[in-house]
């Protein structure tokens, strides 16, 4: 394989372009990685349609974390390794990180990892942790392509006129990527996905109307920004749909408190049974109890008192003020229940 054209410097340069593209997407466009969130089949709890809406409409301050940086850094390495393992000739044909826009879909920006336009091949690299592994295998341990990835790569193949998609997956604890290949381009599936995403864009992004509330952090973050006009409490009739919401919350809250108490009891009983053993395993799975590590906690009241004894009070207050961040107030939900037992 000729690596002269695809040096690591080239890859990191292209990686920077991809990061810039992601920032641009955050400022008003939708990308294929959003499709599964909008459709409702993404396995990550907070990866929902509401999170996409909030990011596109209100902007995003997310600049990456250790997991995303780890994934970006390993992409070119996975590309090299996978091409060698699969004996994919013609490396010079691969185009990394080129963005595509579409006149008939101005809301969409596609930036596939690698495309070979000559052979009409696509490569979408995934780097993920052990916790996501269950989504990549069926009940018998056979590798499968998860729906949330299928929602991403099939529209790629549809709009970029590609025939084959390679999906190398690198687990954080392994050194070799695992192959998933998509050879059956599904036109009907791709069109259905794109229609649903465009409907979401038309109904919610253009209008800036929030989608139905879900359980995501993005939804809670957005709704928490509102402020009550006063402290008047509205009396609800049993026929009001809001009455049903409140009643269900009451039942769940009471039951969750019971379950939390029972959970603590079971944990203590298991610790008692373990003694100095490390763990148990069986058909239920595996439970371990590793030794804890000591935590260092700073007593800031004592720090302030000691600093005040050594330095003038106004200097101490100035230092503390310069290093204090004030968060915006957020609304919370507090329930006081008339019935002690859940119905």
Pick from 29, 203, 151: nearest CA to 102: 29
Note the pLDDT tens digit of each residue in 36-71: 999 999 998 888 999 999 889 988 766 666 777 777
Q: pLDDT category, 23, cuts 50, 70, 90?
A: very low
At residue 341, the pLDDT reads: 55
**Domain spans, the chain:** 8-205, 234-274+339-343
Residues 109 and 31 sit within 8 Å (Cβ to Cβ): yes
Q: Are strands 105-110 and 114-116 parallel, antiparallel or unpaired?
A: unpaired
For residue 338, give every residue at least 6 positions away whose Cβ sits within 8 Å of its Cβ, in sequence order, or none: none
Mean per-residue pLDDT, 125-143 = 83
Whether residue 3 has pLDDT greater than 70: no
Q: What is the Rg, in whole angstroms, of the alpha carbon atoms belonging to the chain?
A: 26
Mean per-residue pLDDT, 294-301 = 87
Residues 158 and 194 sit within 8 Å (Cβ to Cβ): yes
* 59-63, 129-133, 235-239, 308-312: least confident range: 59-63
Q: Are strands 126-128 and 164-171 parallel, antiparallel or unpaired?
A: parallel
What average pLDDT does the structure give for the chain?
84
d(CA 70, CA 144): 24
Chain centroid, CA 233 distance in Å: 36
pTM over the 0.75 mark? no
Per-range mean pLDDT, top range of 225-234, 280-289, 298-307: 280-289
Residues 65 and 149 sit within 8 Å (Cβ to Cβ): no
At residue 200, the pLDDT reads: 96
Return the number of other C-beta atoms located less than 10 Å from residue 55's C-beta. 20
Mean per-residue pLDDT, 62-91 = 76
d(CA 94, CA 271): 55
User: In a 3-state reduction of DSSP, which class is residue 28?
Assistant: coil
Crossing angle for the helix pair 313-322 and 300-310, nearest 10 degrees? 140
Note the pLDDT tens digit of each residue in 227-254: 888 888 999 999 999 999 999 999 999 9
Take residue 151 and report the two structure tokens written for it: 């929602």
Q: Is 191 left (phi over 0), alpha (psi -120 to 50) or beta?
A: alpha
Return the number of other C-beta atoms located less than 10 Å from residue 182's C-beta. 21
The fold of 8-205 is Lambda Exonuclease; Chain A (3.90.320)
Take residue 281 and report the two structure tokens written for it: 């395993």
What is the three-state SS of 135-169? HHECCCCCECCCHHHHHHHHHHHHHHCCCEEEEEE
Q: Are strands 121-123 and 164-171 parallel, antiparallel or unpaired?
A: parallel
% of residues, the chain, pLDDT over 90: 40
Residues 21 and 33 sit within 8 Å (Cβ to Cβ): no
């Amino acid at each position: 394989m000729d690596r002269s054209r695809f040096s690591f410097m080239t890859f990191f340069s292209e990686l920077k372009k991809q990061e810039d593209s992601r920032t641009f997407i955050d400022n008003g466009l939708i990308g294929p990685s959003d499709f599964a969130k909008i459709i409702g089949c993404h396995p990550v709890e907070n990866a929902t349609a509401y999170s996409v809406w909030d990011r596109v409409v209100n902007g995003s301050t997310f600049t990456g974390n250790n997991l995303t940086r780890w994934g970006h850094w390993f992409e070119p390495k996975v590309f090299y390794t996978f091409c060698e393992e699969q004996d994919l000739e013609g490396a010079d044909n691969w185009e990394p990180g080129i963005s595509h826009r579409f006149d008939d879909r101005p809301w969409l920006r596609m930036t596939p990892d690698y495309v070979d336009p000559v052979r009409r091949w696509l490569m979408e690299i995934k780097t993920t942790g052990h916790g996501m592994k269950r989504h990549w295998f069926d009940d018998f341990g056979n590798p499968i392509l998860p729906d949330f990835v299928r929602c991403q790569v099939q529209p790629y193949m549809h709009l970029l006129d590609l025939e084959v998609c390679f999906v190398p997956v690198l687990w954080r604890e392994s050194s070799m990527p695992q192959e998933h290949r998509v050879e059956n381009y599904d036109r009907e599936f791709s069109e259905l996905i794109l229609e649903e995403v465009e409907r979401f864009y038309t109904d919610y992004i253009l209008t800036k109307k929030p989608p139905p509330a879900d359980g995501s952090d993005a939804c809670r973050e957005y709704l928490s920004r509102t402020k009550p006009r006063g402290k008047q409490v509205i009396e609800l009739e049993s026929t009001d749909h809001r009455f049903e919401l409140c009643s269900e919350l009451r039942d769940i809250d009471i039951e969750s408190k019971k379950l939390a108490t029972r959970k603590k009891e079971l944990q203590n009983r298991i610790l008692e049974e373990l003694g100095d053993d490390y763990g148990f395993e069986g058909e239920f799975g595996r439970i371990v109890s590793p030794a804890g590590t000591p935590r260092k906690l700073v007593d800031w009241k004592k720090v302030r008192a000691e600093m005040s004894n050594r330095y003038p009070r106004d200097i101490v207050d100035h230092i503390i003020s310069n290093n204090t961040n004030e968060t915006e107030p957020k609304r919370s939900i507090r329930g006081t229940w008339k019935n002690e037992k859940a119905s």
